[in-house]
Amino acid sequence: MKQLRIRVLAGVFVVAGVLSWAGARLWNSIGTLPGVPLAAPVVLALIAVVLLATALSLRARFKAQRERRPGAKGVDPLMAARAVVFGQASALVAALVAGMYGGTGVFLLELLDIPARRDQALYAGFSVLAGIAVIASALFLERVCKLPEEDDQNHTGAEPVA
């Protein structure tokens, strides 16, 4: 499984942001721009919390397994691989969504004198921050489940497989 690249995530974020900004300008010139929902940052933050909780749980289980603690619960390699795939998919979608809300938010910065648009710009900003939290949590999860390097393979403890 290939490791997620920050360059790819940044590229998705920037392209989505530019297209969203241009789309928001066009949409506003034709009619009214649709609003940024309050649920957007909330849902992204919940996904970030789930990813972080999964990463912390797996890290503790891997550590107990490596230290050969009595009663340590092992980690199924397929479950670790699924967690990594979930994290990678979440990071890609979060980069896309955060870019879209970022582009919309930049456009809304021109309309801060309108109270409703000020709130929309605030929601868009929180969505970008929550999207970055999802990406950070996903990268941490991927790091937790990463296999050891070639020279570390002589280590006798059980290692995570992903």
Per-residue confidence of the chain (162 residues) as pLDDT tens digits?
788 889 999 999 999 999 999 998 888 888 777 778 889 999 999 999 999 999 999 988 888 877 777 777 777 888 888 999 999 999 999 999 999 999 999 998 887 777 777 888 899 999 999 999 999 999 999 998 886 665 444 454 555 555
Question: Tokens at residue 20, please?
Answer: 């969203």
Q: How far is CA 31 from CA 23, 24, 26, 36, 37, in A?
A: 12, 10, 9, 16, 18
Q: Residue 152's pLDDT is what?
A: 47
Q: Residue 125's pLDDT is what?
A: 93
Whole-number Å distance between alpha carbons of 118 and 138? 30
Q: Residue 39's pLDDT is what?
A: 92
146: left (phi over 0), alpha (psi -120 to 50) or beta: beta
Q: Residue 27's pLDDT is what?
A: 87
CA 79 to chain centre: 19
Max CA separation in the chain (angstroms): 67
Q: Look at the block and give the residue holding tokens 């992903």.
A: 162
Q: Look at the block and give the residue holding tokens 């403890």.
A: 157
Which residues, other chains included, contact 136 with Cβ-Cβ below 8 Å and sequence gap of 6+? 48
Q: Is the pTM of this model over 0.95?
A: no
> Could you tell me how many helices (H) and strands (E) the chain has, helices first?
4, 0
